[in-house]
Amino acid sequence: MTHPLELPPPSRHVVVMGVSGSGKTTVAHLVAARTGMLFAEADDFHPRANVEKMRAGTPLTDEDRWPWLHDLAAWMADRSAEGRSTIITCSALRRAYRQVLAEGVPSLDFVHLDGPREVIHERMQRRHHEYMPASLLDSQVDTLEPLQPDEPGMVLDLTLAPETLAAQVVERLHLRALRPA
């Protein structure tokens, strides 16, 4: 409990980003377990029309993505207002998408899990995803705009073990001091 004159520590927000199959969910879950950050899977925010479109193998357009991205930003802003830190998974493929996600939170860091297309494709072939077929990987790779030097975050090698990646996120973003929500 804080003294009445002390402010609680500010909330922190992290988006684990990258194309489908890069390991976002696994790494984000591990970071959440280590830090107490509230976890959310961006896929759970997609409207039914987006899910059906992807299930049919049709890439989403910007018009499909904008409402979804605004919903994610609002969710993080609401948690921030509650003083809760969050970690979400989101492809966040374009800089414009990342700018929308950053609306309404005092601090947002991006963790881009990046690596060889062949490794990602092999992972997608081995896993079952409700609506993201491996056939959409190329459209995601084509859309991806890497983090720019002026964007807060880091790029990590997705071929490393998930535990190693989670440890790097916690260490490099100084997330150890966070308390469970």
Which H or E element spans position 41? strand 38-41
The percent of residues above 90 in pLDDT, for the chain, comes to: 58
Cβ atoms < 10 Å from Cβ of 44 = 9
**How far is 116 from 157, CA to CA, in rounded Å?**
9
pTM > 0.95: no
Give the Å distances, CA to CA, from 139 to 20, 22, 58, 60, 66: 11, 14, 9, 9, 17
| CB-based contact 35:170 (threshold 8 Å) | yes
**In order of start, what are the domains of the chain with their CATH numbers?**
24-113+129-172 (3.40.50.300)
What's the sign of the alpha-carbon dihedral 9, 155, 28, 53?
positive
Kindly report which listed range (27-31, 69-73, 122-126) carries the lowest average pLDDT score.
Answer: 122-126
3-state secondary structure of 118: helix
Reported confidence tier of residue 127, pLDDT bands at 50, 70, 90: low
Q: Which residues pair with 39 in a beta bridge?
A: 87
Residue (of 179, 181, 156) closest to 167 by Cα position? 156
Average pLDDT over residues 110-139: 71
